[in-house]
Amino acid sequence: MPKRLPEHSTKAKKKSTTHQSPANPKSAASTQPIFGQPQPTPDPTGFRNPVTDQKDVGLNTLEAVPQPRGGAVEPTLTLAQVYGAQGAAKTKAIQQAGQIVFHSVGDTGSAKGPATQSLVADKMVTDFTEANSADVPSFLFHLGDVVYYFGEATYYYDQFYEPYRDYPAPIIAIPGNHDGVVYTGDPEPTLDAFLRNFCTSSPVQSPDSGGLLRTTMIQPGVYFTLEAPFVRILGLYSNVLEDPGVISGENGQNKVLDNRQIAFLTAALQRIKSEKFTGAIIIAMHHPPFTGGSVHGGSPLMLADIDSACQAAGVWPHAVFSGHAHNYQRFTRTVNNLQIPFLVAGCGGHSPLSTMRGTYRTPYKIDDTLTLENYNTTDYGYLRVIVNAETMRIEFHPESDGGTVKTPNDVVTITLATYQVS
């Protein structure tokens, strides 16, 4: 049986030398999930607990990956499970509407104060006022770096629960490097707070929520398949290095990680093939395989691992989502005549935004297989994704447009059957 997570305490704890699997924290019980406050409240003007550790120390040592709850090769989570007692009705309504809508963004944690991430969160909340219920988002898939600088529990209220107090839908997440890194003197083991807030076996009130009502997410671990009508998202944990992302032992190059995530990805893709799933397939991780940003580089060995799983299964994603670089970028990669968008959406509120290595007139052809289609280094924002039986439309919405403007700054549409973009 997996070990239970320790109860959160403000007292220093002895540093753990082993990993604990996701389990329930000792928190107030909640029989059903709660996704937001019942009434909107004004944005905060400051943090309760200002960030004090503002140096990226410890970002050069890989950390072991916790085992998923239950130990399955392919840990899975369904949208119906996320919605609890309302899950069957929710998924039926999506199927009857003929489409699903959801948000995705990363790097929302902001060490400098709540202003920028609140702008993005508030803009996303306006999407829930759509007149047609089919256009209302069903969840937010977070691409990591929920809390800066080092994922400590003490910052979850200011950087996660408070900014998203009015977001009335589930928030599902993969960890970023800042969520898992352990710095010298930190009493919390890697991913301790992330597991307690996103990977409990049932929805409970978190000790880190500051009394806000949102319950914990029930993910089976830090890598998993999210199954929803019309879409499957295969989430990976790309570990704690500043660069690059790492999801395996990379043929013995590191002794910290095993190949569980490669086995997971291969199994998930093989199941998609065996079940003849015809919906959208998204692979998501925090570190981008490609980036033109001036601060962060790409992750070619991680991409090679992903490619190996896709080749073994004979299935490729319709899109790849990542964060880490603090801006918006969209690439098209061509593999076997399939056009696959690779999107970087690390523009969720962390300040400052990152520049690119140069000024590019897009579309900018990098080589015969890769083109930079568009980018935005001046606006915070998020992805709005609409999937039906035939297409997936991915929109970038900058917060600078305000809550009443629904026209995206950038759009790509993928035809699911042919893997062609427009």
pLDDT tens digit string along 157-171? 999 999 999 999 999
Q: Among 3.60.21.10, 2.115.10.20, 3.40.640.10, 4.10.93.10, what is the CATH number of 76-421? A: 3.60.21.10
What does the domain layout of the chain look like in residue ranges? 76-421
Distance, in Å, from the CA atom of 248 to the CA atom of 239, rounded to the nearest integer, reads 10
pLDDT of residue 1: 33
pLDDT of residue 296: 84
- The three-point CA angle 28-32-37 to 5° equals 80
Q: Taking Cα atoms as reference points, which of 208, 197, 132 lies closest to residue 171?
A: 197
pLDDT-flagged residues of the chain (< 70) = 1-30, 50, 52-59
pLDDT tens for each residue of 299-316:
999 999 999 999 999 999
Q: Taking Cα atoms as reference points, which of 395, 371, 368 lies closest to residue 383?
A: 395
Instruction: Report phi then psi at 352, rounded to 5.
Output: -90, 165
pLDDT of residue 30: 61
SS3 161: helix
Encoded tokens for 341: 């968008």
Encoded tokens for 230: 């019309």
Distance, in Å, from the CA atom of 297 to the CA atom of 319, rounded to the nearest integer, reads 20
Return the amino acid letter for 30. S
DSSP state of 115: H
DSSP state of 414: E
- The answer to whether residues 193 and 182 touch, using CB atoms and an 8 Å cutoff, is no
